[in-house]
Amino acid sequence: MPTRTARTAWNGSLEEGSGEVELSSSKIGTYGVSFPKRASDDANGSTSPEELIAAAHSSCFAMQLSAELTNAGGTVETLDVRADVSMGPDQSGGFKLTGIKVTVNGKVSGIDEDTFVKSAEAAKTGCPVSKALTGVEITLDATLES
């Protein structure tokens, strides 16, 4: 499997500085980052490490769940996966990720709700990004659409 690369160029202090994160492997874009926008409810056109983790987690989970459902005898029509990554203060100083909520709605033929939920749980623990984030509580809400 290949190694993927991203690069960040940063200028200035934490509070007044800013940077750009480049998705180097895919060459699909460069995105602004800044701590004030990271800590604000309105990202105002910038991304953040938490949003990038959410993107990585939702896409990894979707791929893993697709494999789990296929192995369980289902035929995946659609999966809509959302990952919400929260950050908050760390008691030992600074900040930390405080939780990740994965929400998935799927349209899958050939399986029942119980099989869908069990497959989603297996994907939650089996996807490589989930494995990398074992220090963060990950919750799951899985719904099979009829």
Structure confidence by residue, pLDDT tens digits, 67-99: 999 999 999 999 999 999 999 999 999 999 999
Please report how many Cα atoms fall inside a 13 Å half-sphere around the Cα of residue 111, on the Cβ side: 25
Residue 85: count other Cβ atoms within 10 Å of its Cβ. 24
pLDDT (mean) for 24-38: 95
Sheet containing 138-144, strands listed edge to edge, beginning at the edge strand earlier in sequence: 75-89, 95-109, 138-144
Please provide the CATH number assigned to the domain covering 49-144.
Answer: 3.30.300.20
pLDDT (mean) for 56-64: 98
105-126 pLDDT tens trace: 999 999 999 999 999 999 999 9
Residues 6+ apart with CB under 8 A from 31: 20, 21, 23, 46, 47
Which residue would you say has higher pLDDT here, 69 or 39? 69
pLDDT > 90? residue 39: no
Please, which pLDDT band fits residue 11 given cuts at 50, 70 and 90? Answer: very high
Residue 5: count other Cβ atoms within 10 Å of its Cβ. 10
